[in-house]
Structure 1
């Protein structure tokens, strides 16, 4: 459209202006006229503003267009396409070309029909966003009124206000910006929309335009101006003075009390005489428009009542409208931590209950969920390790004294059910017919070993029964003498057997009361030494040797309970020769030596009071096979690696969230989220943090999409897709692109 023209005739060929066509006239005033013209090249309607050049270039239409070009593009700011200065038949004039809006300006719209609540909201929000944009680049409009707000529509038919006509606008210098107010006191502007400081010619500030906004908002809500004259048939000058008087004294109409909130509060914040008491920023009015202050109050009440889920939802609603609201951002973080702590407490309580019931699998799941939220939680780490240990298959524990499962050559004592340990406190050995010889230096007598009491006197032979043949005469004379002789023989045999048995028992008791060296020991199995020591085997592994030592240690402890200290010393001594570092074996060896010395110096007695048998120590658990240990190490390594990957994943998610919250850096966030997503897929990680962020950004994108800001929504959908690539988010991105 920026075509260069050398003459006014060339310009009219493309834009055939018809000055006398009343239907083509869109508006007129002190600035000139606005005419609707059809572009002959683009075949579309345009609006051409025509203003006569009076020699002062700073106040010309061209200067206005140049100022408007300095405004960065924004939805609620109208833009000029080009401006040309031509000499016509009557004068030199500036011709500014801009887009044609069929709905006209806000003044035209208000005359047609009352606006709906949605239309009022859209127009109010758009005007404030446009003013905010102008004030950020230090431009004060100074002639803000409905006629200077053009009305456009989006694809859905919703109204979009666009601020235009910068003829009286002023760019505030850096020096003027340093103070809270500055001097723009030329008194120009439309009377009904002038602020008190404009009328009085005093210093002004950016909120000069916000006074005019309050007047416009009152007019939108009621259809009339808040400051008007009651004079009838008076001159224009009198009416103007009456209006200015009401403005300076800020005589607000009673009808203001009947305007609905939040619009009433917004008008009251704008129509304040003192510029320092009047609203200073558009942000405050935008917050009132969206009820942000009330939402914050409600959210804080919910936080104080520890209703964190509901408070979190309210803070999210605020952030959907104000992404950088600091109080809402802090509230979301506070609620998130509180909800997470509550969830962790519930999971740990449930896990403890399950462990008490020995339900280790569901308890393990609870601990894993805790670590998914807080990977360094010590209680959860210990609980998970305990559950894993309990769920690991336990090897079958075998009795080492019954079965030598590991092929050791240690002596395995034979057991029978003949001997029973007497329960009486004092055991008196049987008295022999011949008093045994006892040395004076012998240690106290010990209870006869089970092997010595296993001998049982042989039973007398059983004779076959005597039978008679029926029907025959029994030969008494022959049988009776033979029976007497036979009976004598049987008696003699039994008598001799009884004596032999008694003699053996006496010898056995005498042997039991002698020194340990004189005692009779059972035969040692083949392959073992006479003392039951452990012989080293060539090429034997450390694990196998430890297992053999554990078996021997168990036997030594049993011998220690029987006070067979020589056997204890023999077993522990040989075990220490194979592994001198075994402290448990060394302690038992020393205890046996001390006990043996104590017995050697103790008093002699025939009656021995047995020690109350202490609980048998648990049989040492055999070391797990190498294969199980290897699997155990591998599982532990995998778990540790997964925990490290989980920590990296959570750090990436937090990095992305921080990039959004601190500087709205979506590119950095997408990069971090994408890396985290790849990591989660490779290692099957817990994505709880990503799920929370995905839900938040999807909600934000959906809210923006609902306002038809498709480009902005698309950017947020991309952020969500970096967290979780779902069919829904891909569809939304496609919809945003096609709009």
Structure 2
């Protein structure tokens, strides 16, 4: 256990730390309890050595502040934050698993569920973009399938740690100028890889990669290493259609994967509206049946 944040610790006379339920490069996530309100929470703790790193601490703080500014049913809720040693973020406790865990176990996700995941994810991104925030790291590990007694499952977008506030430029067009490449190689857009100005289309590209992988079990652009993969994203031809996927759905995914941002959907709302007419085609399927989850986890 990291010193200072371990099971049994009482943080700020309010949050009792429970068992560790997730871990990553930046830190760990614990079950917890608000001892005043007697409510379960998730506590995300930054590794002590990273708390001394200005860039890592700034990313951790950015994640908390950006996420807490977004009030949306498909974005994980931040309830509290602390940046004194030891730094931590208090979030809603989610039951379920990440889309990445789901794909590692099952390989693919059915078209009907992919449609629901996509429309909920795009709804979250539409809210984020409307507030001038680009996520820049949409990938299966950051998409959580939370169990929901009423509707079976609810998609939650996580980890705004490398989110970027956009800037207004000519024509009221929102863009950002990254000073260096950030993101997860296989899910980055060509313009993100080339450190060009970014807009909402960069997140839409990542959604396209995510959906292609969820439906086929393979990423649309792959190489022997992340450098080759990114080179193929920038230069390769569009990936082939996925056998068995509805042609209208495949057309939407391939448009999201267009190399040029202007060839993609103009907004998350536009992509979501393109997907919505396909939902009735699966009306005979039980979209709201519970997903089979192996454990409770909140990814880093």
TM-score, normalised relative to structure 2 = 0.79
**8 Å contact from structure 1 (residues 262, 288) kept in 2:** no
What is the CA-CA distance between 1:13 and the residue it aligns to?
6.0
2:209 is aligned, of 201, 210, 215, to 215
Equivalent position of 2:196 in the other structure: 202
Equivalent position of 1:106 in the other structure: 99
What is the CA-CA distance between 1:41 and the residue it aligns to?
4.9
Query: How does 1:622-661 map onto structure 2 within 5 Å?
Result: none
Q: How many Å separate the matches in 1 of 2:237 and 2:159?
A: 29
What is the CA-CA distance between 1:218 and the residue it aligns to?
0.6
Q: How many Å separate the matches in 1 of 2:164 and 2:40?
A: 30
Q: How many Å separate the matches in 1 of 2:210 and 2:202?
A: 13
**8 Å contact from structure 2 (residues 80, 89) kept in 1:** yes
Equivalent position of 2:23 in the other structure: 27
Q: How many Å separate the matches in 1 of 2:59 and 2:123?
A: 27
1:271 is aligned, of 257, 265, 272, to 257
What is the CA-CA distance between 1:115 and the residue it aligns to?
3.4
Query: How does 1:12-91 map onto structure 2 within 5 Å?
Result: 14-17=14-17, 24-29=20-25, 31-42=26-37, 45-51=40-46, 52-53=50-51, 54-55=53-54, 59-71=58-70, 73-87=71-85
Q: How many Å separate the matches in 1 of 2:186 and 2:126?
A: 22
Structure 1 or 2: more strand by fraction: 2
C-alpha distance after superposition, 1:282-317 (max 9, x if no partner): 23322321238xxxxxxxxxxxxxxxxxxxxxxxx9
The 1:17–1:115 alpha-carbon spacing in structure 2 relative to 1, beyond 3 Å, is same
Q: How many Å separate the matches in 1 of 2:227 and 2:152?
A: 39
Question: Greater CA radius of gyration, 1 or 2?
Answer: 1
**8 Å contact from structure 2 (residues 110, 215) kept in 1:** no
What is the CA-CA distance between 1:69 and the residue it aligns to?
2.3
TM-align CA RMSD: 3.1
**8 Å contact from structure 2 (residues 238, 258) kept in 1:** no
In structure 2, the residue corresponding to 1:104 is in which secondary structure?
Answer: strand
Equivalent position of 1:133 in the other structure: 127
C-alpha distance after superposition, 1:69-118 (max 9, x if no partner): 222x221111111001333xxxxx32001112121222122233343443
Higher relative contact order (CA 8 A, sep 6+): 2
In structure 2, the residue corresponding to 1:165 is in which secondary structure?
Answer: coil
2:181 is aligned, of 182, 187, 207, to 187
Q: How many Å separate the matches in 2 of 1:180 and 1:102?
A: 35
Q: How many Å separate the matches in 2 of 1:268 and 1:9?
A: 49
Unaligned residue ranges in structure 1 (runs of 5+): 1-7, 88-92, 232-238, 293-316, 318-702, 709-739
2:164 is aligned, of 161, 170, 180, to 170
Structure 1 or 2: more helix by fraction: 1
TM-score, normalised relative to structure 1 = 0.34
2:231 is aligned, of 245, 250, 255, to 245
Unaligned residue ranges in structure 2 (runs of 5+): 1-7, 289-300
Q: How many residues align?
A: 272
Equivalent position of 2:139 in the other structure: 145
